[in-house]
Amino acid sequence: MDNHNISRHISGQFNAELEAIRTHVLAMGGLVERQLTDALRAMHNQDVDLARHVIREDHKVNGMEVAIDEACTRIIAKRQPTASDLRLVMAIIKTITDLERIGDVADSIAKMALDNSSYSQQPFLVSLEALGQRAAKMLHDVLDAFARMDIDAAMKVYRKDDSLDREYEGILRQLMTYMMEDPRSIPNVLKVMWSARAIERVGDRCQNICEYIIYFVKGKDVRHIQKEELEKLLK
């Protein structure tokens, strides 16, 4: 009886520790989402103070990645999780890498917002902001799916990446035409192009997080399989 109580107690503590890590990941996700939308707003409104704020906050994202990674390693060493508990820890370790990289995208957009020369490209910043909002929505939704470990919600996000890619291709074509018409604009337009590409990659990172959610729930690693196969697998 005592033994049983102790093991319940241990498992209760273990669950509390796992739950604390999960909460920490969601907090990190919230911060990254805020960083991304703030960076987009700073760019759109040419708000230098907000851009500087985003750049200053980036170290917090990095610090959270390191702290969560440490907590994951500690829980593995101390609690020796197996099965779905271990899958959760693994999914978290991978998720925070992608979140940190999205944080880097926010940081680089904020740096572009500080660079006055880019404002001569104002018409393009509007399409860039629309692209960014779409990526930020994907991030918001995938964090929701992660909070509930909801495969259906994750798949909805997963499917949205196609339209983000199409919008990105459209912007690229637009930017290329502009450069060809006005070659002096090339250095500045290129900056917009790098940012567009970085935002397009946010969509890919959200898709990665969807794959970790599926890995946790289904116990199956679905990276590197075709979208059609994935859809069949989850039916």
For a copy of itself, the binding residues (CB under 8 A) are 59, 62-63, 65-66, 69-70, 73, 76-77, 80-83, 86-87, 90, 93-94, 97, 176, 179-181, 183-184, 186-187, 190, 221, 223-224
CB 91 within 8 A of CB 209: no
Q: Give the whole-angstrom CA distance, residue 215 versus residue 206.
A: 14
Query: Minimal CA–CA distance to 153: which of 138, 165, 141?
Result: 141
| Residue 115 C-beta: closest distance to a copy of itself, Å | 16
CB neighbourhood size of 199 (10 A): 29
Nearer to a copy of itself, 5 or 226 (CB): 226
In SS3 terms, 99-160 reads as HHHHHHHHHHHHHHHHCHHHHHHHHHHHHHHHHHHHHHHHHHHHHHHHHHCCHHHHHHHHHH
Nearer to a copy of itself, 16 or 83 (CB): 83
Nearer to a copy of itself, 63 or 170 (CB): 63
CB 84 within 8 A of CB 216: yes
How many angstroms separate the Cα of 186 from the Cα of each of 105, 168, 176, 192, 218?
A: 22, 18, 9, 10, 48
| Residue 139 C-beta: closest distance to a copy of itself, Å | 20
Nearer to a copy of itself, 184 or 235 (CB): 184
C-alpha torsion 77→79→82→85, nearest 10: -110
Nearer to a copy of itself, 109 or 136 (CB): 109
| Residue 89 C-beta: closest distance to a copy of itself, Å | 9
| Residue 47 C-beta: closest distance to a copy of itself, Å | 26
| Residue 186 C-beta: closest distance to a copy of itself, Å | 5
Nearer to a copy of itself, 70 or 165 (CB): 70
Question: How many residues make up the chain in this entry?
Answer: 235
Residue 162 C-alpha from the chain's centroid: 16
